[in-house]
Amino acid sequence: MPAVRDAPAYPVPGYGLRVLRALEDAGFEAWVVGGWVRDALLGAPMHDVDVTTSATWQETERVLSAAGMEVHETGIAHGTVTAVSEGWPVEVTTYRVEGAYSDRRHPDEVRFVRDVREDLARRDFTVNAMAYHPERGLLDLFGGREDLVCGVVRAVGDPYRRFEEDALRVLRAVRFACRLGFEVEPRTQAALVACAPELDGIARERVGQEMGGVIASGRVAWALRHEFDVVARAVPVLAPMRGMDQRSPYHAYDLLEHTARACAAVEAFAGGVPTQALRWAALLHDVGKPVCASVDGDGRGHFRDHQRVGAAICRNALLGLALPREVAGRAAALVRYHDRHLSASPAGVRRLLRRLDQARPGEAPALAYQLLDLQRADAVGKTRACAQRTVSLAVFEQALSAELAGGTAFRVRDLAVGGGDVMRELGLTPGPAVGEALSGLLDGVIYGRVENSRDALLAWLRERG
């Protein structure tokens, strides 16, 4: 279990304390709340400081401006302003309670109150519903510290009510469990499953933000095994994976367990710091299989072209979650080639680099190493015999490093000649024929038919006409 302190492991940062003191010197009550309190009890440094106060937002703005702080009206409908204190943003929110949530996302009304206890009671999870003051100490009405000690995520009050108020909290619970390495308390877990369908009504970009936190935690495998009802609602293309027998001698697990194992393995192979695109690719690398599945007369499963189909599904799914186009493109490229046989010959290395460069210009070397981690993870998620493929991938990695160190050519611009040389040698004017000639030269270099030197390339060009 995590080591949890009775009080924060370090003092409130000066920029947060300055806001707190200014409000209290003006006669108002104020507390530090939210993530800073939770993480400080866990001994995890955190820069963001949020303050809640009995002052209205207008009073807060007046007091903090008078204290020399720049104040921005960032959410006044909910009583929130953001003060810039010593260069740091500090969100300050009036104590409030909320009315019904007709749209399952936003309160129909917000009512400002003068008692911090009422404010804490409307928060999502106990570990986020604690307040701290340097003199008054920790205010913990709902057992948040004890839940930190026990390593559980528990809703404040009735979990069904909390999730019916804001359906995105269903996914936030999973994100917090992943980030903190906690389990979800049983009653809260039952409410998660029951309320997961309400995620369908949440804006996809908000779902994407929360799923991004799940992905970044490195505990996607846990989420797939323990919170699949929620994850599959957030990313619906995953739903067909559950219970899908791959009917293959290469697979010891169903598609969902294979994917979970691949997600766990990619963390290990990438040293715990895989890129965002690689983590998404591990999650979605076989997403094309349910679409491409067929069974032959012997009862064996086949998934022809699932790499190409899966790459398109992956890209569309990530763009649908409003992820950056660069992340979606990189993940799709990794999915496209995750099952590709890799030859450690110079030509084999150059072919892969060329294909990756065509998919993501300028990113081929980095993607090639990520692809190796994805292929290793995919291999260890199959049968024990397939896991031996990691040996051949190590050989390919050595060949890749040697080719890159030697300045290998896998793009037209890597050639020792350019378009002007081709036009002079063949008497051509600018046009498609020049590009075709350069592409032919690159093929010759990639497959080792001609040396990448100016004289050799021009001589080869003359011979071929």
Same domain, 267 and 399: yes
> Can you give the pLDDT at residue 373?
97
pTM comes to 0.91
Cα 188 to Cα 163, 169, 177, 387, distances in angstroms: 9, 11, 12, 38
Mean pLDDT of the region 76-80:
92
Distance in angstroms (rounded) separating the CA atoms of residues 455 and 178: 59
- pLDDT by residue (tens digit) across 133-182? 999 999 999 999 999 999 999 999 999 999 999 999 999 999 999 999 99
Same domain, 311 and 419: no
Residue 155 lies in a domain: no
DSSP annotation of 155:
B
Cα 458–chain centre separation: 48
CATH number of residue 442's parent domain? 1.10.246
Same domain, 390 and 251: yes
Closest CA to 4 of 184, 117, 138, 122: 138
Same domain, 333 and 293: yes
Q: Is a pLDDT exceeding 80 seen at residue 403?
A: yes
Q: Is a pLDDT exceeding 60 seen at residue 100?
A: no
Q: Is a pLDDT exceeding 90 seen at residue 343?
A: yes
> Can you give the pLDDT at residue 60?
97
Residue 86 contacts residue 55 (beta carbons within 8 Å): no
Distance in angstroms (rounded) separating the CA atoms of residues 188 and 155: 6
Mean pLDDT of the region 77-93:
95
Q: Is a pLDDT exceeding 70 seen at residue 108?
A: no
- pLDDT by residue (tens digit) across 149-163? 999 999 999 999 999
Residue 207 contacts residue 199 (beta carbons within 8 Å): yes
Mean pLDDT of the region 8-31:
94
Domain boundary among 150, 181, 211: 150
Report how far apart the first and last C-alpha atoms of the chain are (Å, whole number). Answer: 73
Identify the residue whose tokens are 């979650």. Answer: 321
> Can you give the pLDDT at residue 218?
96
Same domain, 144 and 272: no
Helices (H), 360-453: 364-380, 384-387, 389-405, 419-426, 432-446
Amino acid at 410: F
Residue 77 lies in a domain: yes
* Number of domains observed in the structure of the chain: 3
Distance in angstroms (rounded) separating the CA atoms of residues 243 and 253: 9
Same domain, 284 and 360: yes
Mean pLDDT of the region 218-242:
97
Identify the residue whose tokens are 């030269």. Answer: 441
Q: Is a pLDDT exceeding 60 seen at residue 101?
A: no
In the structure, what pLDDT confidence band is assigned to residue 386 with cuts at 50, 70 and 90?
confident
Same domain, 254 and 275: yes
Mean pLDDT of the region 344-367:
96
Contacts of 104 (CB under 8 A, 6+ apart): 164, 165, 166, 167, 198, 201, 202
Q: Which domain holds residue 286?
A: 235-405
Same domain, 31 and 99: yes
Q: Which phi and psi (to 5°) does residue 32 adopt?
A: -85, 135
Domain boundary among 150, 178, 194: 150
In the structure, what pLDDT confidence band is assigned to residue 282 with cuts at 50, 70 and 90?
very high
Same domain, 37 and 129: yes
Same domain, 244 and 103: no
Q: Is a pLDDT exceeding 80 seen at residue 110?
A: no
Q: Is a pLDDT exceeding 90 seen at residue 427?
A: no
Closest CA to 161 of 201, 110, 121, 128: 121
Closest CA to 110 of 83, 76, 73, 139: 76
In the chain, what percentage of residues exceed pLDDT 90? Answer: 85
Distance in angstroms (rounded) separating the CA atoms of residues 435 and 420: 11
Residue 441 lies in a domain: yes
Residue 41 contacts residue 5 (beta carbons within 8 Å): yes
Identify the residue whose tokens are 């009422």. Answer: 118
Q: Is a pLDDT exceeding 80 seen at residue 62?
A: yes
Mean pLDDT of the region 52-66:
97
Domain boundary among 357, 376, 405: 405
Residue 206 lies in a domain: no
Residue 226 lies in a domain: no
Q: CA quadruple 313, 314, 315, 316: dihedral positive or negative?
A: positive
Q: Helix-strand-coil percent breakdown of the chain, rounded to 5? A: 55, 10, 35
Same domain, 374 and 443: no
Cα 310–chain centre separation: 18
